[in-house]
Homo-oligomer: A and B are copies of this chain.
Amino acid sequence: MSLMKAAVFVEKNRIVLEDKPIPDVGPLDALVRITTTTLCGTDLHILKGEYPVVPGLIVGHEPVGVIERLGSQVKGFAEGQRVIAGAITPSGHSYACLCGCGAQDGPATRHGFKAAGGWKLGNTIDGCQAEYVRIPDAMANLCAIPDTLSDEQVLMCPDIMSTGFSGAERGEITIGDTVAVFALGPIGLCAVAGARLRGASRIIGIDTVTERLKVARKMGATDVIDFKTADVVEQVLALTDGRGVDVSIEALGTQTTFQWALRTLRPGGRLSSLGVYSQDLNIPLGGFAAGLGDYSIVSTLCPGGKERMRRLMTVVAAGSVDLAPLVTHRFKLDQIEAAYELFAHQRDGVIKVAISP
């Protein structure tokens, strides 16, 4: 049995590099040799024990690599092809998938859905912070990388670009909208880019880190607010002449940002929630106009599947969005523990790190 290096969740606060067997491949799977991957905020939730996974699991859900071996039933791909797969890997054939809810992919044996059931890599099956990863339902999930694009150019597609853009899409942003994005981590920055791509005229980015406010401007923010030094709700209202925003995007996962997102919304507006929360949320009576305000609150899990990946790579290839500035640091897989250390403490202005085996 061949071995490979892999980042494994051992226990709370310990993700370590270990030797693990190279995965077997079933008839519908593909084995992908990872060439580049990255760390995600969700991996930090796992590291800190805030999001439970079984000890021994290989973490990571943002694979860029090369097809090493294809299952016997997989058609339409070739070994040696450069590919990505989404963080979410819908089966394509569940009831959930067939009604357009692939991220809530349920089991084959039931009529139903499973909350976040489409998120498998580095959650319910071994992930891709490793030399190799097994991609399930490969025909629905692998997507060939255009030759003109480098690994790093497509590295954001599997998760944060898909997630951030979905914030703009589920917010139903339309040409001429005013949008506020609360928190400008990697996902918030992608939400800014997505809002611009959907035609928002005014995009207000809110954070405290100066560097992130700067990157937000590059991504399309027309205004930024440092919430350490300002009353956010007041500022957003001031910037919008008292009107409020058409769409607000919550990209942190806290009660504070959620409330701001609601309180800055005009009646009839949409709050698009991207955060992963760790406690109950409170909807303030006033911010919700006691139920009379025609508000919508929508949450989204990162859309996956190969068509989503193809579409996002099309955006990158067209140069419509340049996410290169988000990769601030690079590590070898051998150094992944150091990468976690840096990323978890947000040292040195880190936004995203690229990991190469």
Contacts and interface: CB of A to CB of B under 8 A. Distances in A.
Interface string A296-312: 11111100011110111
B199 A268 contact: no
25 contacts: A76-B107, A92-B92, A92-B98, A93-B93, A96-B267, A98-B308, A99-B268, A104-B293, A112-B242, A112-B243, A113-B267, A113-B268, A116-B267, A116-B292, A176-B314, A201-B318, A201-B320, A202-B318, A253-B291, A280-B283, A282-B283, A283-B283, A288-B299, A295-B299, A296-B298
A72 B100 CA distance: 26
Contacts of A140: 92-93, 98
Contacts of A314: 176, 178, 201-202
Specify how many copies of this chain sit in the oligomer.
Answer: 4
B301 A104 contact: no
Given A113-B243, A275-B291, A282-B280, A137 B93 contact: yes
A42 B206 CA distance: 38
Contact of A267 (B117, B175, B176, B253): B117
A84 to B, nearest CB: 14
B119 A292 contact: yes
Contacts of A28: 73
Choose among A76, A111, A274, A280 the residue with the greatest number of B CB atoms under 10 Å from its CB. Answer: A111
Contacts of A91: 92, 139
Contacts of A107: 76
Contacts of A310: 95, 111
Interface residues of A, number: 96
Interface of A: 27-28, 72-73, 75-76, 90-93, 95-104, 107-117, 119, 137, 139-140, 165, 168-169, 174-176, 178, 194, 197-199, 201-202, 222, 241-244, 253, 266-268, 273-285, 288-301, 305-308, 310-312, 314-315, 317-318, 320
A18 to B, nearest CB: 28
Given A109-B75, A140-B92, A197-B175, A299 B306 contact: no
A303 to B, nearest CB: 9
A241 B314 CA distance: 13
Contact of A291 (B197, B243, B273, B312): B273
Given A174-B169, A241-B111, A283-B283, A222 B291 contact: no
A140 B104 CA distance: 16
Contacts of A242: 110, 112
A278 B299 CA distance: 24
Contact of A112 (B266, B281, B315): B266
Contact of A315 (B97, B117, B199, B308): B199
